[in-house]
Amino acid sequence: MKLAHTLRERLASLVEAEGLELLDIEIAGSGAKTVMRLVVDGPAGVTLDQCAGISREASALLDVEEPFTHSYTLQVSSPGLDRKFYSQGDYRRFAGRRVKIRMRPEYRECRSAKGELLGLENGLVRLAAESGDILELPLQAIFEARLEIDWNAVMHERKCRR
C-alpha cells in the first residue's frame, strides 16, 4: 500500500521538527496486523525520547488522516547499526565503511558482495571487495545495501570482551 504524497510530506515535516530526517515509511502485513514503521535518523542518531515524541505526534496526525480502514500498529524506529541504504547520498556518506550489497536477480555478475565502500560515481557503486578486487556495481542493479557491523570494534570501543 502506498500513502498519499501529502501525508508523506506531513509526516516528514513532523519528523524534521524534531531535528531528524524521515528515511522511509515501511508498511508490512495486512488487515489488523498491518504495521506502519517510520524510520528516522539524525546526525547524532536517534533517542528513545525523540521516537516517543514523533510517535505521539504521528499518531494524532494519522487519527485525523485515517490512512487505513482497519486497525494497525505504528512504530517509530532508528535505522539500526546495520542500517540499510535509503538514498544515493548514503553511498557517499558511508564511504570508507564496510558494507554488504545484495544484487537484483537479473544481475548476473554476482549475487552479493562485501567490502569497503569507496563511493558512488556515475551511477556505479565502487567497492573494495574482500577478494581485493575493486568492483563497480550499477546502482540500479542493487537490491539492498547495508552497513556491516564490526562487532570486535564495537566491543573494544565499549571495553567489553566477547
Quick: pLDDT tens for 28-64: 888 888 899 999 999 888 999 999 999 999 999 988 8
The CATH number assigned to the domain holding 104 equals 2.30.30.100
**Shared-domain flag, residues 50 and 114:** no
Quick: pLDDT tens for 80-125: 889 999 999 999 999 999 999 999 999 988 899 999 999 999 999 9
Cβ atoms of 150 and 98 closer than 8 Å: yes
How many domains, the chain? 2
Does any domain span residue 161? no
Last residue of a domain, one of 77, 108, 141: 77
Say how many CA atoms lie within 13 Å of 161 toward its Cβ: 0
Q: What is the pTM of this model?
A: 0.78
Provide the pLDDT for residue 88: 93
Domain of residue 62, residue span: 5-77
